[in-house]
């Protein structure tokens, strides 16, 4: 019906074209807008390289640190060092040597008139003095640790003694030779300081102290026994399970034909603390 009307009305039909196979490309402005919207890694790298080149061409450099310029030789003034040592340097040679080795030069501000800088050596602050431990050697004997202070008798201390007067073993009384008038009476006194744990056996401690006296007496030419013996024992404690015991033993060495009995006198007057005694420390006073 449509064709018949067209032909009858005299209207030419619109020409039909086949679909084209080629794709139409968008205009260049649209391509630029799409590229500007998304940046790839290569675009960022190229922008960084361009910025770096631009900064190098413009002469941008990091600001150098301000350092003090060393003064020339003609402008350096060094304070004279006194030839004679001072009182402090004479007493402590070590600190004087250390202060010389740690001397540093610090630049001073420029004077407005001359305009030259003056360098004055300044030593580092001295270190705090340390206490030096001095060991006293007498008579060629090796150094021994200083003995503690003797214990003072207090009401809570356990004190036992052989008596007010010295005692001599009965078997040695008639055999002891009288000392000549030229020889002076010599009395040996030994004080020992013990630290014990578990208990205190005073008889054992007295034997140890008397044995140390006999070692000294054996070196004498005219003595082989001890007479006129007297001892005192002081027990303090316990403190943290430790007893402190002080033994004082005095005797006079003599020469006799009978050997020494090797035991203390008046052992029936000792006062012990029951328990298994362990000697932790012994120092002679």
Is the per-residue pLDDT at 86 higher than 60? no
Is the per-residue pLDDT at 20 higher than 60? no
pLDDT attached to residue 132: 40
**Digit-coded pLDDT (tens) for 188-216:** 999 999 999 999 999 999 999 999 999 99
- Ranges of beta strands (E only) in 200-255 are 225-239, 242-254
Is the per-residue pLDDT at 255 higher than 80? yes
What average pLDDT does the chain have?
69
| Count of CB atoms situated within 10 Å of the CB of 17 | 6
With cut-offs at 50, 70 and 90, classify the pLDDT of residue 162: very high
- Given a contact cutoff of 8 angstroms between Cβ atoms, the answer to whether 263 and 170 are in contact is no
Extents of the domains making up the chain: 157-284
pLDDT attached to residue 159: 94
Is the per-residue pLDDT at 71 higher than 80? no
Average pLDDT over residues 22-33: 53
pLDDT attached to residue 172: 79
**Digit-coded pLDDT (tens) for 224-240:** 899 999 999 999 989 99
> What is the distance, to the nearest Å, from the Cα of residue 160 to the centroid of all Cα atoms in its chain?
44
Cβ neighbors of 105 (< 8 A, separation 6 or more) are 119, 120, 121, 122
Q: d(Cα 282, Cα 285) in Å, to the nearest integer?
A: 10
**Digit-coded pLDDT (tens) for 105-151:** 444 444 444 454 444 444 444 444 444 443 343 333 343 444 455 55
Is the per-residue pLDDT at 243 higher than 90? yes
pLDDT attached to residue 223: 87
Degrees (nearest 5) of the Cα angle 181, 191, 274?
130
Residue scoring higher pLDDT (74 or 243): 243
User: Does the CA dihedral 50-53-59-64 come out positive or negative?
Assistant: positive
Residue scoring higher pLDDT (261 or 35): 261
Q: Which H helix or E strand runs over 97?
A: helix 93-101
Percent of the chain with pLDDT over 70: 48
């Amino acid at each position: 019906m449509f064709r018949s009307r067209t032909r009858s009305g005299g209207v030419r039909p619109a020409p039909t074209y086949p679909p084209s196979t080629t794709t139409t490309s968008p205009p260049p402005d649209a391509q630029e807008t799409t590229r500007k919207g998304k940046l790839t890694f290569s675009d960022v790298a190229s922008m960084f390289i361009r910025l770096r080149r631009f900064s190098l061409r413009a002469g941008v450099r990091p600001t150098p640190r301000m350092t003090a310029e060393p003064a020339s030789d003609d402008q350096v003034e060094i304070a004279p060092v006194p030839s004679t040592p001072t009182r402090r340097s004479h007493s402590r040679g070590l600190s004087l040597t250390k202060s010389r080795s740690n001397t540093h030069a610090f630049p001073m501000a420029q004077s407005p008139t001359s305009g030259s800088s003056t360098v004055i050596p300044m030593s580092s602050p001295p270190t705090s003095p340390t206490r030096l431990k001095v060991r006293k050697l007498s008579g060629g004997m090796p150094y021994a640790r200083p003995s503690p202070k003797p214990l003072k008798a207090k009401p809570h201390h356990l004190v036992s003694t052989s008596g007010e007067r010295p005692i001599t073993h009965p078997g040695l009384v008639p055999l002891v030779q009288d000392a000549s008038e030229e020889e002076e009476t010599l009395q040996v006194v030994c004080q020992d300081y013990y630290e014990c744990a578990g208990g205190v056996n005073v008889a054992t401690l007295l034997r140890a102290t008397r044995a140390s006296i006999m070692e000294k007496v054996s070196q004498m030419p005219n003595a082989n026994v001890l007479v006129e013996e007297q001892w005192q024992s002081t027990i303090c404690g316990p403190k943290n399970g430790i007893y402190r015991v002080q033994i004082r033993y005095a005797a006079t060495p003599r020469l006799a034909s009978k050997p020494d009995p090797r035991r203390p006198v008046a052992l029936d007057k000792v006062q012990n603390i029951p328990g298994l005694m362990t000697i932790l420390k012994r120092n002679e006073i």
